[in-house]
Chains A and B, each alone.
Chain A
Amino acid sequence: GESVGLHLPTLSVQEGDNSIINCAYSNSASDYFIWYKQESGKGPQFIIDIRSNMDKRQGQRVTVLLNKTVKHLSLQIAATQPGDSAVYFCAEILPGGFSGGYNKLIFGAGTRLAVHP
């Protein structure tokens, strides 16, 4: 069921509108960030990533913005569709997280996106 989504902030949008989902990360030295999408009853699915030496990266209908000054990430979804309804969460890789086997990936709790027709 939906136990994963309980107590999460919810963003409600109309189909066709643009969505902006925000995330505050914890470590100013983190050097890599990922956005995941998690649909009901499924595992997290990779959407887009960005390195700390970038401010913006675009994918198909999605854009990630990184503001290192305030430790803030945002995910923008253009022309939101019903299939975009899910929980979205960001993850940061701590310094040294590329070495060895421990990815040192820290996950946020997530935001639920509800798309209404």
Chain B
Amino acid sequence: NAGVTQTPKFQVLKTGQSMTLQCAQDMNHNSMYWYRQDPGMGLRLIYYSASEGTTDKGEVPNGYNVSRLNKREFSLRLESAAPSQTSVYFCASRDVPRQYFGAGTRLSVL
């Protein structure tokens, strides 16, 4: 049972480049989440998806878009990366009320 799988694990982008972070869960959970984690700060919610076909903004959605491709997959897209988006990104899925996290994607924007 892999749980929540994120790809890639590491990525370096130049300012203005685009990329998509992939997330898949095999626990048959309805809800999925994208967070960012910055040094000395708690996890901050970017977007979430309550169920297949729905997505909603979290606390810090600017500069990001998401797609809930199916029940398993929830992707996060940076259309034009900025240095302020350098962070560690975590995907999570929920088995009420607990959330289960992937290993993260470490993104640097130069």
A residues apposed to B, CB below 8 Å: 1, 3-8, 32, 34, 41-46, 49, 89, 93, 97-98, 100-103, 105-110
Q: Is the interface of A mostly helix, strand, loop or mixed?
A: loop
A6's nearest neighbour on chain B, judged by CB, is B39
B residues apposed to A, CB below 8 Å: 4, 30-31, 33, 37, 39-45, 48-51, 54, 56, 58, 88, 90, 92, 94, 96-104, 106
Contacts A6-B40, A7-B40, A41-B103 hold; do A102 and B48 have CB atoms under 8 A apart?
A: yes
Q: 19 A-B Cβ contacts within 8 A?
A: A1-B106, A5-B39, A6-B39, A34-B97, A43-B90, A43-B104, A44-B43, A46-B98, A49-B97, A98-B97, A100-B50, A101-B31, A101-B56, A101-B94, A102-B56, A103-B48, A106-B42, A109-B40, A109-B41
A3's nearest neighbour on chain B, judged by CB, is B39
User: What is the CB-to-nearest-CB distance from B71 to chain A, in angstroms, rounded to a whole number?
Assistant: 13
- Chain B residues with CB under 8 Å of A98's CB are 96-97
